Amino acid sequence: MVDYPIVKTTDIKAAVDALKQKFPDAIQDDTRQGYGGIIVDKNHLVEVATALRDDFGFDYLSSATAVDYLGISDHMEMVYHAYRTAGGPALVFKAQTPRDKPEIPSLINVWPGADFQEREAWDLYGIKFPGHPNLKRILLWDGFDGHPMRKDWQEAYYEEDHKPFESRWPGGWVHRAEERNIYGKNVKYPADFDLSKLSDTSEESHYADLGLGVSVQKLADESHIKTDRLVVNMGPHHPSTHGVFRMIVTLNGETIEKLEPVMGYLHRNHEKIGERNTFLHNMPFTDRLDYLSSMGNNLGYALAVEQLLANGARYQPPTYRAECIRVLMVELTRIVNHLWAIGFLLNDLGAFFTPALYAIAEREKILDFFEATAGSRMMCNYMRFGGVFKDLPERIRGEATRVNDLVRDYDTMEFLTELINERLPRSIDELDQYLTDSEIIKSRTVGVGYLSPEMAIAYSAAGPLLRASGVPYDVRRADPYSIYPELDFDVAVRYNGDIYDRYLIRLDEMRESLRILKQILPRLERTRGEAIFAGNKQHTPRVPLGEAYGRVENPKGELGFYVVSAGDEKGPQNPWRYHVRAPSFISLTALGPMCIGHKVADVVAILGSIDIVLGETDR
Amino acid sequence: MPTLDLRELHNTEFPVPDEMQGNIAITSLSRIYNWSRRSSMWPLLFGLACCAIEMIATAAARYDLSRFGMEVMRASPRQSDLMIVSGTVTKKMVVPIVRLYNQMPEPKYVLAMGACASGGGPFKEGYNVVSGIDMYLPVDVYVPGCPPTPQALLHGLIALQKKIDGQSLANFDDVPWYGVGPSEPTPIPILGPDIIDPRQMDLIRQQAELAAAGKPYGVRDLPPTIKPEPAAAPKVPAKTAAPAAEPDDPEKAARLAKREAALARKRTAQGEQPTETPAPAAEPAAGDQAAPKKFDKEAMLAKIRERKAQKES
């Protein structure tokens, strides 16, 4: 049946060659300077994608994003990163479309995980996806003027394409943005704006297909019992939505028939601002993506830009001590995040705040360490391209509470040793002891919110959500980075795919993190005093042209940064495209299917078990 | 929660017998009214972004918000007195926020937590970001930081308590909610092609007419920005010299002096002659007398010991 060789190795080139053999007309290499992967003719995109998934084993679509090449080649492009859940590097494929009528066939039938990402590309770039059943805006509201990520779309406070803005430096004495705008606000209206025809259509599409205003009787007749469907809005202001997330739930009695996530309430234009910024400017912005695990975000972005830098001259990879410190920070971050996630999962189950108090008590100790090292409790802005910006301090002192808390003066290594060997294990065991065998927790969580492994892969779920469904996929092992290959740890995996397993897997992962941290401590001792930054600290080398995709196993799942450096090689140093593959955002694709058939009270628990953070979901 | 000590409330003009000290207080209505209000300020359980995490940390065991009677976070706006706007306000979110604010009963307060809620913060230039909640709601306290530490938030809350302490029942401007009829709701913004503040309808209509007539619209005519050219500097003393000469801000003077010196160095490095010596007022002489106080650990320790001894005796 198959008339071409099936290649299931980790060798990407062999897969590409075999693919070319099968689709000789549809595929060509991406030969642009610094680019990799293949360009697929958009008319054959669905066939190629199906072959990739079924015959080559690229079953996991990690990221799908758009790029606008206005002024360079005047087309728009969708970039897809597909992986094998068996491990190995990505196969990158792209589809191009003219700017004036952008259309690319939807891949939602091949990888349902493309759903939200294609809606985002429509929302921000205006690319249409024929075949997508629900193509409407996802981050902005219906009725918004234009597609803001296009290169020719300018925001109300637009000043220049690239920072640093001339007016701020070296000129100084600048007018504030509000002064320049006649409304005194961050707003801009189209030239042909007609107030008499003004109508707020932002909510219409959410309710259009819910049977509202059509015929309630018809809906009731279908199900022989004379009941109405009830539409409940949960959020954006709701104590259990982990931020400003909103779900529109259609209920039959108390059973969920349909759930539609609505997001964008924290869409703060990360990517648009990121394209105005210089490369290094973006580092503090990454902190604010998943604000519970800023160190992990830093690492992902640093890896992406380091990949780009590695193509150029004068780049030195991070030193060994820098890598050790990075892993130390990232694994501590994982523990912070999972403690938080477990505490607030209990919140969602109705145990308001008391379990959370216990869970996040030890978090403060880790934040003390972050504060002493990076200068901030949460927004660490700690990593740089080629290392970290500061070595660990000799002693840890609490600056802010020095007067009240005179005992806060420790030797750093002693502090860390005690934290990793005693305090954190004790805290995790305590949670385990109180929660794992609790009758209430078991009856609320076991078997609720089931996600099968096939669905988890298809919906591009990531992190604990994927691994709790029995798929042992961890970027640290599947596509290793930093010094993870030399560290001894296991990929935690659970097989039941329900809320209870997602809780258990977080405990497992924290214990694995502690195993890693225990191996890091002697490495820190051994490398004490060595350089933490490769190359010249005062000077960042020029970022050469090209594209890079850096991904890390963040606590919430696979966090990827797709960074493109294009345009003028000698010109300003800004990313042409800066895209964040946010695990929280993409894992939410599976929320609707997971909730169907459960009771309304389970929705918050299922949402809590995914563990989303809105800074990353909406960006 | 500290034990109730009525001495805090008592007006010392009125004598109270020794044995009843702490049990009886004679005070004014305003004072006891304010005292009870500020000691049970219930915040709206409402988190927007990163700052919400620090707000939760403030409510948790280490910083313990309940010391101020504020730990009762209410999920319903109708039961809350204080809205802590903890994070970036987006155009999509400001609509529900204004609705929530309108649903809160008077007296109500707004605390803008962090850079984003105060003025847009790092995301100010974003197309979906509101440059501070004060564009739509009246704000009582701004807390700077990104995010503010729990200590900073506590400081902001104490500042709010002080503000409440200063309000008098006798002054109608302080307590407008006792006026006749319900208070005016804040108009709810509309999501059109961009967000529309109903209070600006006339201005928007006027600008739309300008646009229809083909005239420039939407931008305000501003005088050109003043660039600090070295030669022109003495002629505009108001901009450059005046802040440096102010004795009450020695830090700024020192900063300016440093910057001047750096600029001069740069100019000489570029081969130009320095056009002028740094302004004499910017010399550190002015800064010396009020040099920033250094933290003296020993002195502080001594102070603490002294206080402890006093307490014990």
In the predicted structure, residue A213 carries a pLDDT above the cut 50: no
* Chain A partners within 8 Å of B212 (Cβ): 191-192
Contact B149 A400 (CB under 8 A): yes
Q: How far is A220 from chain B (nearest CA, A)?
A: 32
Tell me what pLDDT residue A425 has.
93
Tell me what pLDDT residue B284 has.
42
Q: What is the mean pLDDT of chain A?
A: 84
Chosen from A189, A380, A397, A399 to mutate, greatest number of chain B CBs within 10 A: A189
Condensed to tens digits (0 to 9), the pLDDT of residues B55-92 reads 988 888 888 888 888 878 888 889 898 999 998 999 98
| pLDDT-above-90 percentage for chain B | 13
Contact A156 B127 (CB under 8 A): yes
In the predicted structure, residue A3 carries a pLDDT above the cut 50: no
In this prediction the ipTM stands at 0.86
C-alpha distance across the termini of chain A, in Å: 45
- B92 touching A (Cβ < 8 Å): yes
CA B180 to chain centre: 31
* Chain A partners within 8 Å of B217 (Cβ): 182, 191
Q: Among A471, A457, A495, A472, which Cα is nearest to A589's?
A: A457
Q: How far is A213 from chain B (nearest CA, A)?
A: 22
Whole-angstrom Cα distance, residue A267 to residue A618?
A: 5
Confidence of residue A518 (pLDDT cuts 50, 70, 90): very high
**Pick from A167, A291, A406: which is nearest to B53 by CB?**
A291
Residue tagged 């008319």 (tokens): A43
Q: How far is A429 from chain B (nearest CA, A)?
A: 19
Tell me what pLDDT residue A330 has.
93
- B143 touching A (Cβ < 8 Å): no
Contact B220 A181 (CB under 8 A): yes
- Residue A590's Cβ-side half-sphere holds a number of Cα atoms within 13 Å equal to 32
Q: How far is A179 from chain B (nearest CA, A)?
A: 7
* Chain B partners within 8 Å of A200 (Cβ): 190-192
CA-to-CA separations, A398 to A167, A328, B244, B302, in angstroms, rounded: 39, 20, 34, 20
* Chain B partners within 8 Å of A185 (Cβ): 130-131, 135, 195, 197, 200
**Pick from A190, A269, A378: which is nearest to B127 by CB?**
A269
**Pick from A191, A268, A356: which is nearest to B128 by CB?**
A268
In the predicted structure, residue B275 carries a pLDDT above the cut 50: no
Give all strands (DSSP E) within A540-615, no chain letters: 546-554, 557-565, 577-581
CB A560 within 8 Å of CB A580: yes
Tell me what pLDDT residue B47 has.
85
Confidence of residue B139 (pLDDT cuts 50, 70, 90): very high
Tell me what pLDDT residue B224 has.
65
* Chain B partners within 8 Å of A269 (Cβ): 123, 125-129
Q: B50-178 has which CATH code?
A: 3.40.50.12280
Structure tokens at A427: 């805290």
Interface of B with A in 216-235 (CB under 8 A): 217-220, 222, 225-228
CB A131 within 8 Å of CB A106: yes
Tell me what pLDDT residue A365 has.
86
CB A387 within 8 Å of CB A534: yes
Q: How far is A34 from chain B (nearest CA, A)?
A: 30
Q: How far is B8 from chain A (nearest CA, A)?
A: 23
Confidence of residue B293 (pLDDT cuts 50, 70, 90): low
User: Residue A82 pairs with which residues in a beta bridge?
Assistant: A61, A91
Residue B147: cis peptide before it, omega within 30 degrees of 0: yes
**Pick from A183, A202, A401: which is nearest to B200 by CB?**
A183
Confidence of residue A186 (pLDDT cuts 50, 70, 90): confident
Using CA of residue B75, residue B77, residue B78, residue B83, what is the dihedral sign? Answer: positive
Tell me what pLDDT residue A510 has.
92
3-state secondary structure chain B: CCCCCHHHCCCCCCCCCHHHECCECCCCHHHHHHHHHHCCCCEECCCCCHHHHHHHHHHCCCCCHHHHCCCCCECCHHHCCEEEEECCCEHHHHHHHHHHHHHCCCCCEEEEEHHHHHHCHHHCCCCCECCCHHHCCCCCEEECCCCCCHHHHHHHHHHHHHHHHCCCCCCCCCCHHHCCCCCCCCCCCEECCCEECHHHHHHHHHHHHHHHCCCCCCECCCCCCCCCCCCCHHHCHHHHHHHHHCCCCHHHHHHHHHHHHHHHHHHHHCCCCCCCCCCHHHCCHHHHCCCCCCCCHHHHHHHHHHHHHHHHC
Three-state SS for A563?
Answer: strand
**Pick from A155, A193, A267: which is nearest to B125 by CB?**
A155
| pLDDT-above-70 percentage for chain B | 80
Whole-angstrom Cα distance, residue A310 to residue A546?
A: 11
Q: In which element (H, E) is residue A13 found? A: helix A12-22
Nearest CA in chain B to A159: B125
Chosen from A186, A286, A346, A407 to mutate, greatest number of chain B CBs within 10 A: A186
CB A105 within 8 Å of CB A46: yes
Confidence of residue A225 (pLDDT cuts 50, 70, 90): low
Chosen from B78, B92, B226, B256 to mutate, greatest number of chain A CBs within 10 A: B92
Length of chain B in residues, anyone? 313
Tell me what pLDDT residue B248 has.
57
Whole-angstrom Cα distance, residue A121 to residue A67?
A: 9
Structure tokens at B79: 């039961």
Tell me what pLDDT residue A214 has.
45
Region A313-338: what's the mean pLDDT?
A: 88
Within 8 A by CB and 6+ apart from A55, the residues are A2, A4, A6
In the predicted structure, residue B232 carries a pLDDT above the cut 70: no
- B80 touching A (Cβ < 8 Å): no
Strands A91-98 and A75-83, by their bridges, are antiparallel
3-state secondary structure A595-614: HCCCEHHHHHHHHHHHCCCH
Structure tokens at B214: 């083909």
Condensed to tens digits (0 to 9), the pLDDT of residues A384-419 reads 888 888 888 888 875 545 445 555 677 888 889 988
Contact B225 A174 (CB under 8 A): yes
Q: Among B110, B98, B94, B222, which Cα is nearest to B159's?
A: B110
Contact A173 B46 (CB under 8 A): no
Condensed to tens digits (0 to 9), the pLDDT of residues B203-230 reads 888 888 888 887 777 777 776 655 555 5
Contact A243 B222 (CB under 8 A): no
Region A241-261: what's the mean pLDDT?
A: 85
**Pick from B54, B61, B205: which is nearest to A357 by CB?**
B61
Tell me what pLDDT residue A331 has.
93
Whole-angstrom Cα distance, residue B235 to residue B264?
A: 19
Whole-angstrom Cα distance, residue A523 to residue A554?
A: 22
Q: Report CA Rg, chain A.
A: 25
Contact A288 B49 (CB under 8 A): yes
Whole-angstrom Cα distance, residue B253 to residue B259?
A: 10
Contact B90 A185 (CB under 8 A): no
In the predicted structure, residue B236 carries a pLDDT above the cut 50: no
- B131 touching A (Cβ < 8 Å): yes
- Kindly report the backbone phi and psi dihedral angles of residue A287, in degrees, each rounded to the nearest multiple of 5, phi listed first: -55, -35
Contact B128 A190 (CB under 8 A): no
Written as one letter, the residue type at A522 is P
| pLDDT-above-90 percentage for chain A | 19
Tell me what pLDDT residue A226 has.
58
Contact A268 B191 (CB under 8 A): no
Show the domains of chain A with their CATH numbers: 12-125 (3.30.460.80), 154-189 (no CATH), 270-618 (1.10.645.10)
In the predicted structure, residue A538 carries a pLDDT above the cut 70: no
- B60 touching A (Cβ < 8 Å): yes
Tell me what pLDDT residue A1 has.
36
Contact A177 B131 (CB under 8 A): yes
In the predicted structure, residue A158 carries a pLDDT above the cut 60: yes
Q: Among B304, B141, B20, B273, which Cα is nearest to A403's?
A: B304
**Pick from A139, A173, A237: which is nearest to B96 by CB?**
A237
Whole-angstrom Cα distance, residue A5 to residue A3?
A: 7
Contact B100 A237 (CB under 8 A): yes
- B52 touching A (Cβ < 8 Å): yes
Tell me what pLDDT residue B159 has.
92
Tell me what pLDDT residue A565 has.
87
* Chain B partners within 8 Å of A195 (Cβ): 201, 204-205, 208
Condensed to tens digits (0 to 9), the pLDDT of residues B143-201 reads 998 889 898 999 999 999 999 888 888 888 888 888 777 778 888 888 888 888 888 88
In the predicted structure, residue A381 carries a pLDDT above the cut 50: yes
**Pick from A171, A194, A202: which is nearest to B227 by CB?**
A171
Condensed to tens digits (0 to 9), the pLDDT of residues A28-59 reads 888 888 888 888 888 888 988 898 888 888 88
Higher pLDDT, A377 or A570: A377
Contact A267 B128 (CB under 8 A): yes
CB A474 within 8 Å of CB A60: no
- Kindly report the backbone phi and psi dihedral angles of residue A567, in degrees, each rounded to the nearest multiple of 5, phi listed first: 90, -140
Whole-angstrom Cα distance, residue A115 to residue A111?
A: 8
Condensed to tens digits (0 to 9), the pLDDT of residues A417-450 reads 988 998 899 999 999 998 898 898 999 899 888 9
Whole-angstrom Cα distance, residue B264 to residue B242?
A: 19
- What are the domain boundaries of chain B? 6-38, 50-178, 246-308
Whole-angstrom Cα distance, residue A262 to residue B94?
A: 16
- Kindly report the backbone phi and psi dihedral angles of residue A117, in degrees, each rounded to the nearest multiple of 5, phi listed first: -70, -35
Three-state SS for A435?
Answer: helix
CA A340 to chain centre: 18
Q: What is the mean pLDDT of chain B?
A: 78
Say which DSSP state A392 is in: P
* Chain B partners within 8 Å of A173 (Cβ): 225-228, 239
Nearest CA in chain A to B298: A403
